[in-house]
Structure 1
């Protein structure tokens, strides 16, 4: 990847530990140490700044969005992403047990695969069962627990961090050597753009996403039930008691999953609808209306005026309302994370698609390139 000459000195300084803001205005990027794994592998944190109050801090461990600062209606920037202030938080027994995937890149397959197995071209592949009888978010050691190689770049649109990881054939049961690049870009207009790319040398299945938990009132400020959300989806994929899709594409009309017009997250979350009981709240894949790049969701926070819009070229969006946060984890700001203290909007293909031929295919074959982009845009009202 070529770095423009105008940015060369900036990057050279930032990569040596000199704050980027000390040498230039506008978009900035800087690198710093963020601890080491038990085997001694060093982890780095990159800070990408828009120059207009937005900063994304990204770890090479799991490609994790560790924090995300965006301005509120008064112009004050604050962190809206759940996470930890040190690497130890991501390695702790409590985090490993609960495994909420704070901010992480998810792969090879985001969401659940029923029975922890799938068939492809007549062969059955067995996966780790790490969610009851199912496989969740790539298995026992998915992309969220891998160390990614980082390549920073600055251009006229903003600053980017390209992360690469090569997953060997058979890792977590998946066939083929998968070469993956995920590029985070922070733009001058306060967008966080995520581009996912992958190639394989054998037929395989791929579904990549990001698992950031958002709280537009500010990390650690309490639950997000007063946030108002609109999701541009007239259908969703109903699930069974283990949160595996039944295969049906059902209408949201008349259910607490109808967000075609804005509703607060907490308005119907205790509804007795069976779908809400299964997931202890919202943990559902929405079938997005339209094709190509489209507006998937819009969220507003009354207390701060922050607005987040999500655009994606993916067919689905998993809305998860943080139902399994138990108060055991203490976040960046020193506050325990309880149920509902953050929500996720994971752009994706549908859960269990390898076992549901009626769903859009997630098969990737040699010679093809998986290439998908999602954009999280921030403003105020």
Structure 2
């Protein structure tokens, strides 16, 4: 079932429900996931993502709650890059750096939305064209993002894009997950996993140094589920730089499945993630404080964790990272599947 609520300023809130009662709410503004209700081990449906109490607070959304991110997810050093012998200068929006597509990024776009119902799946197709020169990027970029809710409690996000000029592209979704249900606890009591042998080293401005470090024998070794409290309580310079938590890119191990996951022992909720992206940024909400009115309560440090499947902007300045240049005649097609079960 799909319902639409028309709001002011052209905003729409779309609600998608599957036959098990799992419910997804998405704004056409920013393609923002505002709520995702999934059952716990006793069948109780509760929200497992961070979202504002007042939808109007998404107008600014400095934490990017639930938003689609593009053209390039992450931080581009010095807000510039070279491509085809030409230098491109982007709008800086985090000091001298360019973060998450800039102030006019996809999180600020009013997307066109087409609902669909096919067999046991319901969903939304979102579309937008980013014009040549927008934010400083080259090329007219046509983007389609599809949110699909399946009958077996999977949320599938498909990203597709084409361009008429070579341009950097890596799209993601910036939802903060918390499997406790209605934000009962921080994610410190939950267990995270990322199938990765290497992660990026960051400098004091959270820009990649270009070095890839081994996850082994470090708090970043999440190759099996690890309580996040154990990560947060381990002294490590890279955790300190990120604000006493993780805000790092992990390269996926090519053969491992699932690629990532989150488990809450108390509710029994288990989320596993599959993706054909080369890696993900794990962000553990280190910058959150108690100043935000969320749907269920005030915000708090480590109240949510983001699994931002993507390539990485460091590839624009350093070798050894996945390529993120899309050329005319090519199709960008990336899919991430979030599966929800209990145990």
Q: Is the TM value for this pair above 0.5?
A: yes
**Residues 314-340 of structure 1: CA distance to partner in whole angstroms, max 9, x if unpaired?**
01111110000111111112x111100
Tell me the CA shift for residue 294 of structure 1.
4.6
352, 364, 367: which one pairs with 2:314? Answer: 352
SS of 1:352's partner is helix
Q: Note the residue ranges of structure 2 that are not aligned, 5 or more in a row.
A: none
- What TM-score do the two structures reach when normalised by structure 1? 0.87
SS of 2:56's partner is helix
Matched, 1:168 2:136: no
Aligned position for 1:371:
333
Aligned position for 1:80:
48
State how far apart, in whole Å, the 1-side matches of 2:149 and 2:235 are: 41
- What TM-score do the two structures reach when normalised by structure 2? 0.97
State how far apart, in whole Å, the 2-side matches of 1:219 and 1:136 are: 29
Matched, 1:151 2:114: yes
SS of 1:248's partner is strand
142, 163, 168: which one pairs with 1:200? Answer: 163
* Matches for 1:230-379 after TM superposition, within 5 Å: 230-280=193-243, 281-290=245-254, 294-333=257-296, 335-379=297-341
Change in Cα spacing, 1:219 to 1:170, as seen in structure 2 (3 Å) is farther
Contact 1:220/1:337 (8 A) holds in 2: no
State how far apart, in whole Å, the 1-side matches of 2:281 and 2:99 are: 13
| Number of matched pairs | 342
Contact 1:244/1:351 (8 A) holds in 2: no
Contact 2:195/2:257 (8 A) holds in 1: no
7, 16, 23: which one pairs with 1:55? Answer: 23
State how far apart, in whole Å, the 1-side matches of 2:143 and 2:127 are: 6
**Residues 98-146 of structure 1: CA distance to partner in whole angstroms, max 9, x if unpaired?**
x000000000000111111100001111112112221110011210011
**Residues 42-68 of structure 1: CA distance to partner in whole angstroms, max 9, x if unpaired?**
111111111112111011000000100
136, 145, 149: which one pairs with 1:182? Answer: 145
Q: Note the residue ranges of structure 1 that are not aligned, 5 or more in a row.
A: 1-27
Q: Where is the strand percentage greater, Structure 1 or Structure 2?
A: 2
Tell me the CA shift for residue 222 of structure 1.
3.0
Change in Cα spacing, 1:70 to 1:179, as seen in structure 2 (3 Å) is same
Contact 2:141/2:163 (8 A) holds in 1: yes
Highest Rg: 1 or 2?
1
| Deviates further, 69-78 or 215-224 | 215-224
Change in Cα spacing, 1:235 to 1:51, as seen in structure 2 (3 Å) is same
State how far apart, in whole Å, the 2-side matches of 1:257 and 1:357 are: 22
26, 29, 44: which one pairs with 2:12? Answer: 44
Contact 2:281/2:310 (8 A) holds in 1: yes
